[in-house]
Amino acid sequence: MNARRPSCVMMAGLIALAAMLAAAPVRAGAETLLRTRLNADIRSTDPGTNRDANTDGVMAHLVEGLVAFRDDTSIGPMLADSWDVSNDGKTYTFHLRQGVKFHNGAVMTSADVVWSLKRWLDPATQWRCLSEFSASGIAQIEKIEAPDTQTVAITLDRATALFLPTLARPDCGQAAIIHHDSVGPDGKWIAPVGTGPFKLGDWKRGQYVDLVRFDGYVARSEPRSGNAGAKTADVDRVRFNIIPDSSAAKAGLLSGALDVVSNLSIPDLEDLKGRPDVQLSITPALGLTGILFQTRDPLLKDLRIRRAIALSLDTPEIVDAVMEGTARANNSALPIGSPFYGEAEAHGYTQNVAEAKKLLVQAGYHGQPIKMIANKRYSYVFDSAVLVQAMAQSVGINIEIEVLDWAAQLDRYNRGDYQSMAFTYSARLDPSLSFEMLTGPKATQPRKVWDNPEAQVMMQQSMMIDDKAKRQELFDEMHRRFIDDVPMVVLFNGSEIAGLRKNVKGYAGWLFAQPRFWGVSIR
Amino acid sequence: MLGYLTRRLAMTIPTLFLVAIAVFTLVRLIPGDPVQVMLGDNTDAAQAAQLRAQLGLDQPVPLQFLYWLGHLATGDLGHSITNNLPVLPLILERFQVSAVIVLVAVGLAACIAVVAGLIAAWKQNSALDLAIVGGATLLLSIPSFWLGLLLLLLFGLKLKWLPVIGYVPFSENFWQAAMFMLLPIATLTIVEIGVLTRMARAASIEVLRLEYVTHARAKGVPEWLVLGRHVLPNAFAPTWTLIGLVLGHLLGGIAVIETVFTLPGLGRLLVDSIFARDYPVVQGCLLFTAVIYVVVNLIVDLCYPLFDPRVAVA
Amino acid sequence: MRWRANTAIGGTLIALLLGTAVAAAFWTPFDPLRINLKARLQPPSSLHWLGTDEFGRDVLSRLMTGASASVVVALATVLIAVSIGVLVGGVAGYLRGWTDRIIMAVNDALLAFPGILLALAVMIVVGANKTGLVLALGLAYIPSVARVVRGTVLSIREREYIEASRVIGNSEFYSMVRHVLPNAMAPVAVLATSMFGWVLLAESALSFLGLGVPPPAPTWGNMLAASRPYMETAAWLSVAPGLCIALTLLGINLLGDSLRDRLDPRMAHG
């Protein structure tokens, strides 16, 4: 008897509650609310300092820089309407946009730009990208001047092709121009008073971040492209719910509790296809997933063994299975979406089992185990490792997978302490940076996978020159050497998959795996 | 009584000190550090070193421990590396969520389990007994995340009775909060019934064999009264101690449930912090759960005589 | 009566399990690790009796191979936890005094950690593999055993028949091994059988949280955790390992009950 009572009460309560929920109006008033998801809370509201990819994505709605990345990774105007570069390539003169308003109503002038840039360069700000502007970085900033209220001139100590791309980098907080009310009199961060189409609303840590439409925003006239172009807020409020578990997020989308779920995992795709009330947005992304080899390892220092592994793989089949047709095979360090991705880059490894076996015999390999580190934080990394293991097995290579958590894998990566690992790099928006993340001297930078001095020289050259054809030549040559050296096997660039309710209009993913909610409306 | 209480409290101090050392050592043994997690694959050595210095992670580990212990003595658990929030308020806020789920679920589970265990013991060796034991074992073997997702699919997606994601604190809107809590509580209750029923059955069997039960029966006391008045309260006592024992495991199990139902509870905070290598939060959480564990067991011991008249507080 | 029913049902289930585990070493319908990307997520059919998983691997073959892996991990963990736990708890209860206090302080400190999360942290340190899992979970479960054993030893050593044994002139150690330990076996048996189930589940929960026995080598736990995204579209992936865990637990528990009934002198005539 007693056993039944609590469960009866529970059932009754459940039914009563359900009835109440059904009766309660879901949306009160005329406010339009777009509900989306973050897989982890943002780190802070202080862009470019205490940040991660989620933080960058949210901040891109609140603040803007002088320039911004377009959809094709080229640089477009944002708060600067145009700019001139001096003949020696060292001085950039920015002509600011007229009548841009901060969230507090103040009109932006060159003084705000100078103040913001100087704040970024102040070591106390702890800007993530400060080291880029140090002696070991791309260039040092020698002078920041404001000849009039609408002009800012920046002088560098040397010419570089990477100055504007670095300013535009989302992880650098887009070197945002903010109002000085964003910080207190002591210089401590309070909240972003930026120029973006949204203002920061309520931030309930661990639960949600709200963005509210900024009514004083005047959009640029060019069409929306990347973080550049027209940014109009078509909804009153955007709520980023913090939902770590992707199955739960998917359930939220299906039940209508969420309107947009980005960063969907591949297994979810299967389930969402063919649902009448859900649409999918699939865009190629700029990340890079592949198998890294430690070329200092006693076994893997033998090029023939590395090459044998590469030749044992049917990359298109791996990519097809792992990404379920949402991504294309790519053995190049440059992402497929890059404007520099040409015919040379499309030339990679072709599966050749006989050749692989021959190389193994020559190298005297007889089944010594090769450890491969993988993680389960990114399902596609783990799945790639499983398929590589199976295919390598078929030519007689004995790979053992070791699963680590992401932080532990990063530690091994940074120390170069591995035989091989399945790894995923985050997006690099410039081809020079794509090579920079791979090549370097292992003695001083153990995380670099490709230790080839000639390639490093070419990489440095590609950073200095601005001429597209010359850069292309360098990248093509580096690609050929990269394929010959087999320091790693690149498999594919990821894809950004978002699930949307049918009534969401205007959403588009882009190369950078961060959702954008300007220009998005709910019908 | 007061003397006993002081003694018991004093006894917990070395335990907590050991916990503090163990927590600190374990957390620092974990490979990888918060700086690498923050910087990801784009780590620049100079940048990383700067950040480490900023966070005090460049100090020798024993020194860091003493520093932490010193602050601990003043009740300061430090600040989160991830978002710079003070750890103690963060833990307290998250703990409220977990505490509601655990208390309600264990309470419900205990009530159901004790009665089911009693019936099984009373009808020992019958088909009913086998059914209850079998049912309990089946519940024991359901992974909580699986059950949770199943309930989520059924009530959230198929029937659309309950919200599938999100959380509202009770202080904000009681009914809405209850809606969000219903499925997690149901999940944990079902899982715990399995464990507790088996224990309650074993306890009841012991009690049923005691002389005073035989006496009562011999005196012609109706069977329902024997069970209700004599056996039930006594069978509850061992289950009660067990609740204290399983609490540690529960706080681990709740991490899974909080992940499935996207609740900002203590378990999820701990798991997230372990993966982010947020040392101060991991240390704070583990120490906090240890304190809770010690306190709950103290309460359990103090209340024990209320349930078992045979035992007096020594 | 009940003892026989328990033993029969439990014994059958466990015999089946062990038989499968042994058989899998010699023969499975398919290679449990062979990937067939053209036959992904196929429902049960006459070819694949329990369907295929997301890599096109045969689920039945994986379950069979997983049986031995899961059983070995669970048995090893329970063995470690019980043997060390009985030793530690027995020593504490037998010697009492300061030894007891120190041992119990350490024990309580360990017990105060949330088990699975302790295991998670330990596994990150020692590595996600079978040995790591056994160590991590073993460490997490030792304190519960030690506590139960100590309690039993403390309560039993004062009983008349122990006293009697001492009076006859038997050494204390002999009395302890001869009389006290068998009595402590009953609660330990209950705990050990439950623990067996916890291990199978903890492994799957750890996989769910991101670290378990690394697939592709199958265990029931990691199969269950991997099936999660396909719960709706490919239910057989989660039902099969889930049912295996449940039936194994039922078998173990029934056998455990009958074992306890035989070991526990007070329960012999139930």
User: Which of B:219-258 have CB within 8 Å of A?
Assistant: none
Give the residue among A48, A205, A58, A208 at the shortest CA–CA distance from B85.
Answer: A205
Cα A270 to Cα A39, A496, A507: the distances in Å are 20, 15, 21
Q: Is B166 on the interface with A (CB under 8 A)?
A: yes
Best to test chain B binding among C122, C209, C238 (most B CBs inside 10 Å) = C209
Here the tokens at position C23 are 């058989």
Q: Is B275 on the interface with A (CB under 8 A)?
A: yes
Best to test chain A binding among B37, B39, B42 (most A CBs inside 10 Å) = B42
Q: Cβ separation of B260 and A247 shorter than 8 Å?
A: yes
Q: Which residue has the higher pLDDT, C194 or A336?
A: A336
Tell me the pLDDT band of B81, cut-offs 50, 70 and 90: confident
Ranked by mean pLDDT, the top range of A409-418, B304-313, C200-209 is A409-418
Between CA C129 and CA C132, with CA C130 as vertex, the angle to 5 degrees is 65
Here the tokens at position A59 are 């901040």
Q: Are strands A91-96 and A141-148 parallel, antiparallel or unpaired?
A: unpaired
Tell me the pLDDT band of B241, cut-offs 50, 70 and 90: low
Tell me the pLDDT band of B244, cut-offs 50, 70 and 90: low
Cα A386 to Cα A306, A492, B220: the distances in Å are 17, 15, 70
DSSP per-residue codes, A314-382: -HHHHHHHHHTTSS-B--SSS-TTSTT--HHHH------HHHHHHHHHHHT-----EEEEE-SSSHHHH
The three state secondary structure string of A35-82 is EEEECCCCCCCCCCCCCCHHHHHHHCCCCCCCEEECCCCCEEECCEEE
- For B288, list phi and psi in degrees, rounded to 5: -60, -45
**What does the alpha-carbon distance between residue C224 and residue A445 come to, in Å, rounded to a whole number?**
40
Q: Chain A residue with minimal CA distance to C229?
A: A267
DSSP-based three-state secondary structure for C26: helix
Q: How many CB atoms are located within 10 Å of the residue C38 CB?
A: 9
- Average pLDDT over every residue of B45-59: 81
Residue type, A141: I
A519: left (phi over 0), alpha (psi -120 to 50) or beta: left
Q: What is the pLDDT along chain A (523 residues), one digit of tens a residue?
A: 333 333 444 444 444 444 444 444 444 457 899 999 998 889 899 998 888 889 999 999 999 999 999 988 889 999 999 999 999 999 999 999 999 999 999 999 999 999 999 999 998 888 988 888 988 888 999 999 999 999 999 999 999 989 999 999 998 999 999 999 999 999 899 999 999 999 999 998 878 999 999 999 999 999 999 999 999 999 999 999 988 777 778 888 988 889 999 888 887 887 788 888 999 999 888 889 999 999 999 999 999 999 999 999 999 999 998 998 889 999 999 998 888 999 999 999 999 999 999 999 999 999 999 999 998 888 889 889 999 999 999 999 999 988 888 888 988 998 999 999 999 998 888 899 899 999 999 998 899 999 999 999 999 999 888 888 999 999 999 999 999 999 999 999 988 899 999 999 999 988 887 899 999 999 8
User: Which of B:170-199 have CB within 8 Å of A?
Assistant: 175, 178-179, 182, 186
Q: Cβ separation of C55 and A376 shorter than 8 Å?
A: no
- For C9, list phi and psi in degrees, rounded to 5: -65, -50
Residue C2: the pLDDT is 52
Residue B301: the pLDDT is 73
Q: Chain C residue with minimal CA distance to A250?
A: C229
Residue A7: the pLDDT is 42
Domains and CATH numbers, chain A: 288-493 (3.10.105.10)
Residues of A in contact with B116 (CB under 8 A): 3
Q: Cβ separation of C194 and B141 shorter than 8 Å?
A: no
Residues sharing a CB contact under 8 Å with residue B134, sequence separation 6 or more, in sequence order: C250
Q: Cβ separation of B186 and A426 shorter than 8 Å?
A: no
Q: Cβ separation of C37 and A403 shorter than 8 Å?
A: no
Residues of C in contact with B120 (CB under 8 A): none
**What does the alpha-carbon distance between residue A451 and residue A485 come to, in Å, rounded to a whole number?**
10
Q: How many CB atoms are located within 10 Å of the residue B172 CB?
A: 9
Distance from CA of A485 to the nearest CA of B (A): 22
| Chain B partners (3+ C-beta pairs within 8 A) | A, C
Residues sharing a CB contact under 8 Å with residue A97, sequence separation 6 or more, in sequence order: A77, A79, A80, A81, A108, A220
Residue type, A153: A
Say if residues B115 and A3 touch (Cβ distance below 8 Å): yes
**What does the alpha-carbon distance between residue C135 and residue C129 come to, in Å, rounded to a whole number?**
10
- Average pLDDT over every residue of B67-93: 86
Q: Is A377 on the interface with C (CB under 8 A)?
A: yes
Q: Which residue has the higher pLDDT, A346 or C202?
A: A346
Here the tokens at position A370 are 């090769």
Least confident of A56-70, A509-523, C79-93, C174-188: C174-188
Residues of A in contact with C129 (CB under 8 A): 402
Say if residues A510 and A283 touch (Cβ distance below 8 Å): yes
Look over chain B and give the mean of its residue pLDDT values, rounded to a whole number.
80
Least confident of A4-13, B262-271, C214-223: A4-13
**DSSP state at residue A162:** T
Q: Cβ separation of A241 and B264 shorter than 8 Å?
A: no
Say if residues A100 and A195 touch (Cβ distance below 8 Å): yes
**What does the alpha-carbon distance between residue C37 and residue B217 come to, in Å, rounded to a whole number?**
68
Cα A522 to Cα A27, A218, B36: the distances in Å are 13, 21, 39
Beta bridge partners of A148: A151
Residue A384: the pLDDT is 94
- Average pLDDT over every residue of C208-233: 77
Q: Taking 50 as the threshold, does the pLDDT of residue B30 lie above it?
A: yes
Q: How many CB atoms are located within 10 Å of the residue A49 CB?
A: 18
Q: Chain B residue with minimal CA distance to A9?
A: B108
**What does the alpha-carbon distance between residue A139 and residue A494 come to, in Å, rounded to a whole number?**
31
Residue A491: the pLDDT is 96
Give the residue among A144, A130, A106, A126 at the shortest CA–CA distance from A188.
Answer: A126
Contacts 24+ apart (CB under 8 A), A272-277: A272/A499, A276/A502, A277/A501, A277/A502
Say if residues C224 and C241 touch (Cβ distance below 8 Å): yes
DSSP-based three-state secondary structure for A264: coil
Q: Cβ separation of B140 and C197 shorter than 8 Å?
A: yes
- Of how many residues is chain C composed? 270
Q: Is B41 on the interface with A (CB under 8 A)?
A: yes
Say if residues A405 and A413 touch (Cβ distance below 8 Å): no
Q: Cβ separation of B157 and A7 shorter than 8 Å?
A: no
| Chain C partners (3+ C-beta pairs within 8 A) | A, B
Q: Is C129 on the interface with A (CB under 8 A)?
A: yes
DSSP-based three-state secondary structure for A156: strand
Cα A297 to Cα A270, A417, C217: the distances in Å are 39, 9, 26
Distance from CA of C172 to the nearest CA of B (A): 26
Report the complex ipTM. Answer: 0.77
Residues of C in contact with B129 (CB under 8 A): 2
Distance from CA of B173 to the nearest CA of C (A): 31
Best to test chain B binding among C2, C107, C117, C249 (most B CBs inside 10 Å) = C117
Q: Cβ separation of B42 and A171 shorter than 8 Å?
A: yes
Tell me the pLDDT band of B243, cut-offs 50, 70 and 90: low
DSSP-based three-state secondary structure for A127: coil
* Interface contacts A/C by beta carbons within 8 Å: 56
DSSP-based three-state secondary structure for B251: helix
Crossing angle of helices A453-464 and A468-485, in 10° steps, is 160
Q: Is B200 on the interface with A (CB under 8 A)?
A: no
Here the tokens at position C21 are 């585990």
Contacts 24+ apart (CB under 8 A), A13-20: A13/B178, A13/B182, A14/B161, A14/B162, A14/B182, A17/B161, A17/B162, A17/B175, A17/B178, A17/B179, A17/B182, A18/B161, A18/B162, A20/B175
Q: Taking 70 as the threshold, does the pLDDT of residue B79 lie above it?
A: yes
Q: Which residue has the higher pLDDT, C113 or A441?
A: A441
Here the tokens at position A130 are 């400060």
Q: Is B310 on the interface with A (CB under 8 A)?
A: no
Give the residue among A69, A97, A76, A85 at the shortest CA–CA distance from A156.
Answer: A85
Residue B310: the pLDDT is 52
Residue B149: the pLDDT is 78
Say if residues C146 and C102 touch (Cβ distance below 8 Å): no
DSSP per-residue codes, A172-224: GGGG----GGGB-TTS-B------SSEEEEEEETTTEEEEEE-TT----SSPP
* Side-chain-facing half-sphere of B66: CA atoms under 13 Å: 5
Here the tokens at position A403 are 């699963």
Burial A11-44 (b: 16+ CB within 10 A, else e): eeebeebbeebeeeeeeeeeeeebbbbbbbbbbb
pTM of the model: 0.81
Q: Chain B residue with minimal CA distance to A45?
A: B83
Give the residue among A149, A482, A492, A474 at the shortest CA–CA distance from A320.
Answer: A492
C54 vs A267, A317, A403: nearest CB: A267
Say if residues C199 and C73 touch (Cβ distance below 8 Å): yes
- Tokens 């350490």 correspond to what residue? C106
Distance from CA of C243 to the nearest CA of A (A): 22
Crossing angle of helices B279-307 and B2-29, in 10° steps, is 150
Residues sharing a CB contact under 8 Å with residue B105, sequence separation 6 or more, in sequence order: B184, B185, B186, B188, B189, B192
Q: Chain B residue with minimal CA distance to A243?
A: B262
Q: Cβ separation of A387 and C55 shorter than 8 Å?
A: yes
Q: Which residue has the higher pLDDT, C176 or A483?
A: A483
Cα A121 to Cα A74, A95, A130, A503: the distances in Å are 24, 21, 6, 44
Q: Taking 90 as the threshold, does the pLDDT of residue C177 lie above it?
A: no
